[in-house]
């Protein structure tokens, strides 16, 4: 197989602030993997939080670029569970990009969308939320106005003054709101906040406590009046059984678990554990977001807005109509490059 990698610097419409960082741009890598004349697309959006960055992706690609020969099904298995999985153990976004590209090749070879290969109904996709990052009050107002087409909002919290900003969003939008604290609270704050958020009609709270504080998460799950969705706590399928008593659901992201194949295993483990499933994302182009969206008929919730938050997405794929994800009907991922004048 021939692998070509293109670096893309994504520019968000607004600086994207969460409890632990602010992003003014993000380096992502688009993979084009060609097998017998068929090219599949994938994307790596590396996160320093998970030990990757714009330098680790090219170095990982150099190590495995010459080891990708073979049938795409076989190579996909090697990326998920074999020798390539071991070599890319610390490079989940690279595994995700390869896995997406291989699914894209397989779909194009069979002339079927990925969701059809998986036996999923494209009409069963959930509505996606639209994320409002932490910002100055007047910028929050603009963000809420720009999010007018979306009926579910996700508000980032976890910094001083966040309640006032949330109240501003609730009053201005009148919409369903979810909260993500990105590990920004301790257990006492989380318990207090979940009580207040419940009174405000918040749908659920995402990863309010650091993932290392497992006993605090167990306490929160037991006492919180709101559902708790685990994000940073859940990376691999094995995490689900050990964490099932720490939350009511999990956030599955292709970039942290390694692609569509391990995401399917995560979803299966979550259902076995009687946990809700949300599909989430990093800041990504439509390549990565569309790959995740093909799995969305399996999810209870979606937060697949990473492409909507950027001003320079080079691709077209999944779209959103009345907040609902609309999957492309082309073969494979169904992603195409955006025409430029």
Asked if the model's pLDDT at residue 20 lies above 90, the reply is no
Per-residue model confidence as pLDDT tens digits over 153-209: 999 999 999 999 999 999 999 999 999 999 999 999 999 999 999 999 999 999 999
Q: pLDDT at position 235, please?
A: 96
The average confidence (pLDDT) of the chain is 96
Q: What's the pLDDT score for residue 339?
A: 83
Q: What per-residue confidence (pLDDT) applies to 295?
A: 98
Those residues whose C-beta lies under 8 Å from the C-beta of residue 275, and which sit 6 or more positions away, are: 240, 244, 247, 248, 249, 250
List pLDDT tens digits, range 101-142.
Answer: 999 999 999 999 999 999 999 999 999 999 999 999 999 999
Q: How far apart are CA 91 and CA 46, in angstroms?
A: 8
Q: Give yes or no for a contact between 318 and 301, defined as CB atoms under 8 angstroms apart.
A: no
Among 335, 231, 325, smallest CA distance to 288 is for 335
The answer to which of 3-7, 16-20, 292-296 has the lowest mean pLDDT is: 16-20
Phi and psi at residue 126, to the nearest 5°: -85, 170
Closest CA to 4 of 49, 36, 50, 42: 42
Confidence band, pLDDT 50/70/90 cuts, at residue 15: confident
- When pLDDT is averaged across residues 76-92 and rounded to a whole number, the result is 97
pLDDT at 22: 82
Beta bridge partners of 310: 12
Residue 340 reports pLDDT greater than 80: no
Give 256's contacts (C-beta < 8 A, 6+ positions apart).
Answer: 47, 50, 92, 235
List C-alpha distances in Å: 167 to 157, 159, 163, 192, 193: 12, 14, 6, 16, 13
Residue-wise pLDDT for 302-332, tens only, equals 999 999 999 999 999 999 999 999 999 999 9
Q: Is the distance from CB of 169 to CB of 148 less than 8 angstroms?
A: no
Q: What is the pLDDT of residue 72?
A: 97
Given pLDDT bands bounded at 50, 70 and 90, which one contains residue 19? confident
Alpha-carbon distance of 89 to 79, in angstroms, equals 10
For the chain, percent of residues with pLDDT exceeding 70: 99
Domains and CATH numbers, the chain: 2-112 (3.30.390.10), 117-337 (3.20.20.120)
The pLDDT of residue 126: 98
**Which string of b and e fits 147-165 if b means at least 16 CB within 10 Å?**
beebbbbbbbbbeeebeeb
């Amino acid at each position: 197989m021939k692998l070509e990698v293109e670096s893309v610097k994504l520019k968000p419409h607004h600086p994207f602030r969460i409890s632990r960082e602010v992003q003014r741009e993000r380096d992502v890598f688009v993979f084009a993997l060609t097998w017998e004349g068929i090219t599949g697309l994938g994307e790596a959006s590396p996160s320093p939080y998970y030990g990757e960055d714009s330098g680790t992706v090219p170095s990982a690609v150099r190590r495995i670029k010459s080891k990708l020969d073979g049938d795409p099904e076989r190579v996909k298995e090697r990326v998920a569970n074999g020798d390539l999985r071991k070599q890319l153990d610390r490079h989940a976004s690279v595994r995700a990009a390869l896995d997406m590209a291989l699914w894209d090749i397989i779909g194009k070879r069979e002339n079927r969308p990925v969701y059809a290969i998986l036996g999923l109904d494209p009409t069963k996709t959930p509505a996606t939320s639209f994320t409002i990052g932490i910002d100055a009050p007047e910028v929050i107002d603009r963000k809420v106005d720009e999010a007018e087409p979306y009926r579910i909002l996700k508000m980032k919290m976890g910094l001083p003054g966040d309640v006032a900003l949330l109240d501003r969003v609730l009053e201005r939008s009148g919409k369903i709101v979810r909260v993500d604290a990105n590990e920004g609270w301790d257990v006492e704050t989380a318990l207090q906040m979940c009580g207040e958020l419940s009174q405000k009609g918040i749908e659920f709270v995402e990863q309010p406590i650091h993932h290392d504080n497992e006993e605090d998460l167990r306490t929160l799950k037991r006492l919180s009046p709101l559902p708790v969705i685990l994000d940073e706590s859940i990376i691999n399928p094995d995490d689900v059984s050990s964490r099932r008593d720490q939350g009511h659901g999990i956030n599955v992201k292709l970039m942290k678990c390694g692609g569509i194949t391990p995401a399917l295993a995560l979803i299966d483990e979550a259902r076995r554990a009687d946990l809700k499933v949300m599909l989430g994302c990093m800041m990504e182009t439509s390549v990565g977001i569309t790959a995740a969206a093909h799995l969305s008929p399996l999810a209870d919730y979606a937060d697949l807005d990473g492409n909507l938050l950027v001003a320079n997405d080079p691709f077209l794929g999944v779209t959103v109509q009345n907040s609902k994800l609309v999957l492309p009907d082309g073969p494979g991922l169904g992603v195409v490059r955006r025409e430029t004048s």
